[in-house]
A and B are shown apart, each in its own frame.
Chain A
């Protein structure tokens, strides 16, 4: 089955700097990769996703890149702001019906 590894587990950056979170997956058949943001005490919410037929996708300050050959994908947040502080989860589709999640990255933005 699919295995998703996420790094780093914690990340601290200065406000205004960029943050990058990386995930690797094991199943070469996986074709859908979402990213979720979970604020403290709240539910996970989708922030961006990418499919295997696309190498990069951007939405304002966030972007995701996918390298199918190396089986890894990354979340990039530019011009970080205090409200970006949260736990971020990557995921990969396993089979036809499920998502497998990474272990999460706690991002802290320092003012």
Chain B
């Protein structure tokens, strides 16, 4: 049981480039979440999904898009990266709505 995995672990982008972060979970969880973590600001919700084929906006969705084509995968896309998107990105999944969330190891993104 791998739990929640994320790829890549680390990435450097130039301003304006695009990329996709992949989150995968093998716990058959319905709920999946993308957060960004910045110093002194805790974990802020970007987008989330309540099941396969669904997505919804969180607290800080601008500049990001997501897709949940398969139940076990949740993709986060940056169409045109900006330095303000430099952060650590965590994916999480949960069995029950708004309850215990299991986090992935994180992706460190640096946008130059």
By a beta-carbon cutoff of 8 Å, the part of chain A in contact with chain B is: 6, 9, 32, 34, 42-46, 49, 89, 93-104
Interface residues on B, range: 20 to 34
In the assembled complex, B103 has its CB within 8 A of some CB on chain A: yes
Residue from B33, B42, B104 in contact with A103 in the complex, judged by beta carbons closer than 8 Å: B42
Q: Check if B48 sits within 8 Å of A97, measured CB to CB.
A: yes
Residue from A43, A46, A95, A102 in contact with B42 in the complex, judged by beta carbons closer than 8 Å: A102
Q: Check if A43 sits within 8 Å of B106, measured CB to CB.
A: yes
Instruction: Give the total number of A-B pairs whose CB atoms are below 8 A apart.
Output: 55
Q: Check if B50 sits within 8 Å of A97, measured CB to CB.
A: yes
A102 contact set on B, CB distance < 8 A: 42
A47 to B59, CA, bound (A): 24
In the assembled complex, B99 has its CB within 8 A of some CB on chain A: yes
Q: Check if A44 sits within 8 Å of B90, measured CB to CB.
A: yes
B58 contact set on A, CB distance < 8 A: 98
A-B contact pairs, 24 of them (CB 8 A): A9-B40, A32-B99, A34-B99, A34-B100, A34-B101, A42-B105, A43-B104, A43-B106, A44-B43, A45-B103, A49-B100, A89-B42, A97-B48, A97-B50, A98-B33, A98-B48, A99-B45, A99-B98, A99-B101, A101-B35, A101-B44, A102-B42, A103-B40, A104-B40
Taking CB atoms and an 8 Å cut-off, the chain B residues in 56-102 that contact chain A are: 56, 58-59, 90, 97-102
Known: A95-B98, A96-B98, A101-B42; 12 extra A-B contacts, CB below 8 A, are A9-B40, A34-B99, A34-B101, A46-B100, A97-B31, A97-B56, A97-B98, A98-B48, A98-B98, A99-B101, A100-B59, A103-B41
